[in-house]
Chains A and B, each alone.
Chain A
């Protein structure tokens, strides 16, 4: 890919939903000289900022950002080989997160719908084709599978946000055994605390143990505290919580807050 242009490499990375950083020297005029370099997560680079030292510094920043859970695009001022300041815009592309919903009940419909409208890759897992079908979940990928098939059919990454809403104790328990030990950063479980405690006791009774950090990513009762009652409201509450976890925010009211957006690290 060495002869491809960095801008084209960026288009490819967006199109193929891969991670990448496009670094652009913010200089006006002389577009033929506009320095630009693209870095893929696999460590390949395309193009140059026109200065080896700048390329190297940009690469270090790109690599660091690509390892963050929620990296932000930003302009940085670097010093080139000649000692001159150069403003470089580091544009980070992170592919859409996945929303993985276990349970295809009627209340999962608005969760899938809103998830898709947020641009999340939305997947519904439920063994019942009568519920888990295109008519009910037109925007979602559907996986017809019970827990025995999870390992084979359900892929979970560090950008997969899991919602457990089977309305079925046994299915929820089997799901929890699978998802809590995955790399998902978020596992929301529908239902009251008492139900969760009952399930976790049953799972532990089977001799399954979880590590502290696996339990820490479990959010139950699920959702932000907005007094949601209807399935549509509950879906908003759940997705608001997912956005907050994803961006590292606390949820709650902005009224009285010092900043709207988190200050960049």
Chain B
């Protein structure tokens, strides 16, 4: 299964089980970065991560931001300038700047199961 499919499946599961979750997407890359635009990671309320948005440098911090996003219900666009070794102090040396969009995943929906292709499903999410 591709990563996009894994993340999409994790979104569905979190919804079905009524877990809160946030979706992080790499939306802009300048310079070098391990993951490119479109890479996604789902973070659920238990801090279970699905997918990768970097080579391991950003996942923890993004998960922290994701918690706030789940809490507040408002998306955050965060820029990581990875050439600032100071920030990481680890000398990871991924010399790029990455923008990550972190948004709450819509949790509930009303009506029939949308996967049955019903065109008149109404939702109470954004």
Residue in B2, B73, B77, B114 whose Cβ sees the most chain A Cβ within 10 Å = B2
Q: How far is the CA of A11 from the CA of B9 in the complex (A)?
A: 8
Inter-chain contacts of A24 with B (CB < 8 A): 27, 101
From the candidates B5, B37, B77, B122, name the one contacting A74 in the complex (CB within 8 A). B37
Q: Is residue B83 contacting chain A, with contact meaning CB distance below 8 A? A: no
Contact A29–B8 (Cβ < 8 Å): no
13 new A-B contacts at CB < 8 Å, known A75-B99, A89-B28, A92-B38: A3-B123, A4-B121, A10-B8, A26-B27, A27-B75, A27-B77, A28-B76, A29-B75, A31-B104, A73-B37, A73-B38, A91-B25, A260-B32
Task: Return A164 CB to nearest CB of chain B, in Å.
Answer: 25
Residue of B nearest to A29 (CB): B74
Residue in B38, B76, B101, B103 whose Cβ sees the most chain A Cβ within 10 Å = B38
Q: How far is the CA of A74 from the CA of B28 in the complex (A)?
A: 7
Q: Write the A101-127 contact mask toward B (1 if CB under 8 angstroms, else 0).
A: 000000000000000000100000000
Q: How far is the CA of A96 from the CA of B32 in the complex (A)?
A: 25
Contact B75–A3 (Cβ < 8 Å): no
Q: How far is the CA of A7 from the CA of B21 in the complex (A)?
A: 14
Q: How far is the CA of A30 from the CA of B103 in the complex (A)?
A: 11
Q: Is residue A8 contacting chain B, with contact meaning CB distance below 8 A? A: yes
Task: List 13 interface pairs A-B (beta carbons < 8 Å), by A numbering.
Answer: A2-B119, A3-B119, A4-B114, A11-B12, A14-B8, A15-B12, A26-B99, A29-B75, A30-B74, A34-B126, A75-B28, A89-B25, A91-B37
Contact B76–A5 (Cβ < 8 Å): no
Q: How far is the CA of A34 from the CA of B86 in the complex (A)?
A: 34
The 10 A-B residue pairs with the shortest CB-CB distance, nearest first, are: A73-B38, A119-B2, A14-B8, A89-B27, A73-B37, A75-B28, A29-B74, A31-B74, A75-B27, A11-B8
Total A-B residue pairs with C-beta atoms closer than 8 Å?
A: 90
Inter-chain contacts of B5 with A (CB < 8 A): 14-15, 96, 119
Contact A119–B77 (Cβ < 8 Å): no
Contact B38–A72 (Cβ < 8 Å): yes
Known A-B contacts A26-B27, A73-B37, A91-B25; the reply to A11 vs B74 at CB < 8 A is no
Residue of A nearest to B101 (CB): A26
Q: Is residue B120 contacting chain A, with contact meaning CB distance below 8 A? A: yes
Question: In which size bucket is the chain B interface?
Answer: 35 or more
Interface residues of B, Cβ cutoff 8 Å to A: 1-5, 8-9, 11-12, 25, 27-28, 32, 36-38, 73-77, 99, 101, 103-106, 109, 114-115, 119-123, 125-126
Q: How far is the CA of A3 from the CA of B125 in the complex (A)?
A: 12
Contact B8–A15 (Cβ < 8 Å): yes
Q: Write the A1-45 contact mask toward B (1 if CB under 8 angstroms, else 0).
A: 111110110111011000000001011111110100000000000
Inter-chain contacts of A10 with B (CB < 8 A): 8
Contact B74–A261 (Cβ < 8 Å): no
Q: Is residue A186 contacting chain B, with contact meaning CB distance below 8 A? A: no
Contact B1–A119 (Cβ < 8 Å): yes
Q: How far is the CA of A24 from the CA of B40 in the complex (A)?
A: 14
Inter-chain contacts of A15 with B (CB < 8 A): 5, 8-9, 12, 115
From the candidates A34, A74, A92, A96, name the one contacting B75 in the complex (CB within 8 A). A34
Task: Return B122 CB to nearest CB of chain A, in Å.
Answer: 7
Q: Is residue A219 contacting chain B, with contact meaning CB distance below 8 A? A: no
Contact B126–A32 (Cβ < 8 Å): yes
